[in-house]
A and B are shown apart, each in its own frame.
Chain A
Amino acid sequence: MTSSEPIVSVRGLTKRFGDNEVLKGIDLDVRPGEVVVVMGPSGSGKTTLIRCLNLLEEPGSGTVRLCGNHVDCGTRQGGRRARAARIREIRRHSAMVFQQFNLFPHLTALQNVMEGPISVRNVPRAEAAELARRLLALVGLGDKCGCYPATLSGGQKQRVAIARALAMEPQVILFDEPTSALDPELHAEVLQVIRDLAGNGMTMVIVTHETAFARDVADRVVFMDGGHVIEEAPPQRFFTAPAHPRVQAFLRLIGPSHNGRPSPENVERT
């Protein structure tokens, strides 16, 4: 695999829940070290898309390729076992950070981070504990190792969740609205951790409404609406000169205050 070959590659992805067609043919590539931010109005399919990337949702059709593991959706593709093994490989090389954290409440912060290495990567316990301690320190929670999730703030929980994701040594981390369940004053600490990861070259796909953050860390912003990707651009262009009228309207609605600097165009239209 050359360095320019995408880590994540999705072609023609569709997904429907009953009568509701949520994804209508998505193509997306994420290259190593790239940070892709997915934005869009609610109901546009962003969360479904990111959950399809590691097959938490099973797409109706299309292909998902992650680190060389290829799944053809909507087909039997050589038997259930082989397919399950491929899905497991995809999940092993990716990690997910959830909106609701989904920490294991019966385990301490340290045990939460150790769990993946021990029960999936077969790392010896002592080594896993050391790794977990290091990762918790990395997200600024070195002093919270023995705490249960219930005693942590939302921001701290999400940082534990990020440490837990890192413990899987993933090739790519998927973030599903990582700050949406947090009180506003707790957003910064979580976003800072993600910023640091971006600075260290971690490949990430992030669904978020945080425009200022997207402007800072994204290499590319993908805008979804009605189950389609309707705009894909570097943040500079995305926020100042979006091509699609739907994106222009969206950016106007979420307001120049979120945007930092309003573009002249935005001002004259409001």
Chain B
Amino acid sequence: MDLLVDSFPDLLTGLVVTLLLGVVSFILGSGLGAAIVLAKISGNRVLSAVATAYVSVFRGTPLLIQIMIIYFGLPQIGLEIPPIPSAIIAFTLFTAAYLSENFRAGILGVDKGQWEAAASMAMPYGKTLRRVIFPQAIRIALPPVGSRFIALMKDTSLASAVTVVELTRVAEGIGTSTFRYMDALLIVGLMYWLINTLLQVGQQALERRMRKAYA
């Protein structure tokens, strides 16, 4: 308990940084993921191939490698990015690859008849996506997207490898200075779990709201 009190300021800072990494990367990753899926289903061969290659690379390599390439590798070609932006860039690129696949599954899950109904009333492509397809696709994609958000929250601990002082790094620091690794790691582990429990409750609330129309 005394450990909790003594390290409270550090833990709070770590919590803020972890949340910042997770939330910002998730938002940016969603945007990029949406762009990727639009490219993928655009019907344009080049765009679609680029999107496929992107997903293949960023889903097929370890996140830790991606983070380290950005933070340790890029300076060698003259591009120096501070730790937190490095981590956010890596998390965004990585998460976008996964989210684009979740979005795609959502879009493919919408009944073909919905496209036909929109087409038969001469609705333009963009409006069909915005007003007919996306609202239904989001509902289908929500569970895997929620899982991705939770996975991302845990993956932010990898930012500690590039000197970002987030929760995991804070726990290491407390352990080193007090030799109470077990207590420090348990406290931080519990904090991750609480964050993700809140995320899950939020996801369930969203699911309930979207289910309303489908009674």
Contact = CB atoms under 8 A, between A and B. Distances in A.
Interface of A: 54, 56, 88-89, 91-92, 94-96, 98, 100, 102-108, 115-116, 119-120, 148, 150-151, 164, 168
Contact of A116 (B113, B123, B139): B123
B121 A116 contact: yes
Interface residues on B, range: 20 to 34
A56 B122 contact: no
A91 B214 contact: no
Interface string B177-215: 000000000000000000000000000000000001111
- The residue in A88, A89, A105, A107 that gathers the most chain B C-beta atoms within 10 A of its C-beta is A105
Contacts of A104: 114, 117, 132
B80 interface: no
A249 B122 CA distance: 40
- The residue in B117, B119, B124, B132 that gathers the most chain A C-beta atoms within 10 A of its C-beta is B117
A92 B123 CA distance: 9
B121 A168 contact: yes
Given A102-B113, A102-B114, A104-B114, A96 B214 contact: no
Given A115-B131, A119-B127, A54 B215 contact: no
28 contacts: A54-B120, A88-B122, A88-B124, A89-B122, A92-B121, A95-B121, A96-B116, A96-B117, A96-B120, A98-B116, A100-B113, A102-B117, A105-B213, A106-B213, A107-B213, A115-B123, A115-B131, A115-B132, A119-B123, A119-B127, A120-B121, A120-B123, A120-B127, A148-B215, A150-B213, A151-B215, A168-B121, A168-B122
A69 to B, nearest CB: 11
Contacts of B213: 105-108, 148, 150
Given A106-B213, A150-B215, A120 B122 contact: yes
A91 B136 contact: no
Interface string B124-138: 100100011001100
Contacts of B121: 91-92, 95, 115-116, 120, 164, 168
A12 B215 CA distance: 47
A106 B135 contact: yes
A158 to B, nearest CB: 13
Nearest to B113: A102
Contact of A98 (B113, B136, B214): B113
Contacts of A54: 120
